[in-house]
Amino acid sequence: MHMADALLSPAVGAVMWSASAFMTAYSARRVQIQLDNRKIPLMGVLGAFVFAAQMINFTIPGTGSSGHLGGGLLLAILLGPHAAFLTMASVLTVQALFFADGGLLALGCNIFNLGFFPCFVAYPVIYKNIVKDKPDSKRLTIASVLAALFALQLGSLGVVLQTFVSDISMLPFTSFLMMMQPIHLAIGLVEGMATAGVVSFLWNTRPEILESAAAGKPLAPIPIRNILIVMLIASVFIGGFFSWFASEHPDGLEWSLQKVTGSTELDMPEQGVHEKLDRIQQKTALLPDYAFQEKEGSLPDEKNRSGSRTVTTLAGLSGGFLVLACGVLIGLILKKRNHTI
């Protein structure tokens, strides 16, 4: 559901950049209050895990579409909403800058749609009200699935509304909406089940992590070394190996665009803000679309497929490392500022 710049006007992009920047500053201030040495590496490792998980697109049967884990809800459950929002912003920024996944003009929209709705709406309104103070496997599963469905519906609606208000793509509002909402309902169901699986695993091994996140308490007395190791290993295997088997079908947004316009991508204005930001992204993107640029005339033979797998592994590992480093760096900066206040 990463928006491209072609869907947005500069005005809408700027408004959403401002909204996401405000939420980032607000979240950083709140995290500063409860930050401790254990949450810093957890933010980095969980961010790397979400980055890796987003590389695996799963097929939605019978549709010709695919989806991937958003991760915002999972982060909110394990870190609390404020630390989760900062971590999600780090993931999306790395994706946009280094992998051209989502436009730079659209980065504010993507952070808001994939970060704000799951962390500050679905998590407190749906998840916490179902789980309350009596978590068990059944409650965790129901809460995760319903909250994920709610978050994905809000996020996809956000995409449609931001596109409609921008009024540069000429996409029919009703047709676009009727494609986006049902397909993201299916994607949300899978994300909810995946989230429930991870949350249930952690509830059975280290329930204190979930309890501390829900109560906004520090993780100081909780041993999390083994959890960090497990999640880090999972990130390496998912991003470095399992990403080879990601579905090649267009994701929910691309599929919706194709159903409405006949193409998974829209033409972007060739001048102005769009063109300038596109040039910047071309310079910063080390592996655009998680791959090397293919040479003209190259054939999809076995050698090319092998090379594609190699670069996918490189993208998964390098991207995970960058997100991990960003999460740790944010934590260290906030901790240092906390000591100087």
Give start and end residues of each alpha helix (H) in the chain.
10-34, 39-54, 72-79, 81-99, 107-111, 128-131, 137-166, 173-205, 207-215, 225-240, 252-261, 273-284, 302-340
* Distance (Å, whole) CA 105 – CA 168: 14
For every residue of 285-310, DSSP letters joined together read: -SSGGGSPPPPTT----HHHHHHHHH
Residues in the chain: 341
* Token pair listed for 214: 């829900």
Residue 301: what pLDDT? 47
**Sequence-ordered list of residues with C-beta below 8 angstroms from that of 123, at least 6 positions apart, any chain:** 73, 76, 77, 81, 84, 147
- Contact yes or no for 314/98 (Cβ under 8 A): no
3-class DSSP state for residue 9? coil
In a domain, 298, yes or no: no
* Distance (Å, whole) CA 40 – CA 293: 35
* Distance (Å, whole) CA 154 – CA 231: 28
Q: Which of 145, 122, 125 is nearest to 200 (CA)?
A: 145
For the packed helices 137-166 and 252-261, what is the interaxial angle rounded to 10 degrees? 40
Specify the CATH number for the domain of residue 168.
1.10.1760.20
Residue 279: what pLDDT? 93
Residue 297: what pLDDT? 44
* DSSP class of 243: G
In a domain, 297, yes or no: no
Q: Which of 115, 130, 244 is nearest to 196 (CA)?
A: 130
- Residue 290, phi-psi category: left (phi > 0), alpha (psi -120 to 50), beta (remainder): left
Residue 91: what pLDDT? 96
* Distance (Å, whole) CA 187 – CA 193: 10
pTM of the model: 0.92
Residue 296: what pLDDT? 46
Report how far Cα 240 is from the mean position of its chain's Cα atoms.
Answer: 18
- Contact yes or no for 312/320 (Cβ under 8 A): no
Blockwise average pLDDT, block size 10, the chain, 341 residues:
92 97 94 78 93 93 92 94 95 95 95 97 94 84 96 97 93 95 96 93 86 76 83 92 90 95 87 91 89 54 58 91 92 73 51
What is the residue range of 237's domain?
Answer: 5-292+303-340
Count up the domains in the chain and report the number.
1
- Contact yes or no for 77/210 (Cβ under 8 A): yes
* Distance (Å, whole) CA 77 – CA 68: 18
Residue 182: what pLDDT? 96
Q: What percent of the chain has pLDDT over 70?
A: 94
